Amino acid sequence: MEKAIDLSIKATAAAKANGLYTVFFTIDGTRAEMSFLLNLVERVATEGHMDAFTLVDTFGVLSPQAASYFTRTVKERLPGTAGGDQVGPGIFDRPDFIPGDALGRP
């Protein structure tokens, strides 16, 4: 897992060095242990670079309550960064896996 973290740091730093707007898009991040995901995001935010952070839920397992909790936790842990209150985390979900009324969708 350390290799994945190191590569994420290097890739985001290289993107910044080349003038790219960088969104750290954690594919299937909702399937990881929250402590690992938060450590990953924190290390990339502090050692690499991100202009924005997106929690990705391609399996549709993230409930609205969990999304709220995760967003609040990231903002508390990473204030003043792209993952915290500077930009704020975004969420990508698969609406075809989520009941429409859970997120207010028809």
Q: What is the pLDDT of residues 68-88, one digit of tens each?
A: 888 788 878 877 665 555 555
d(CA 106, CA 102): 10
Average pLDDT over residues 20-47: 88
- The answer to whether the Cα torsion of 100, 96, 29, 55 is positive or negative is negative
Question: What does pTM read for this prediction?
Answer: 0.74
Arithmetic mean of pLDDT, 43-51: 90
What is the tens place of the pLDDT at every residue in 52-65?
A: 888 888 777 777 78
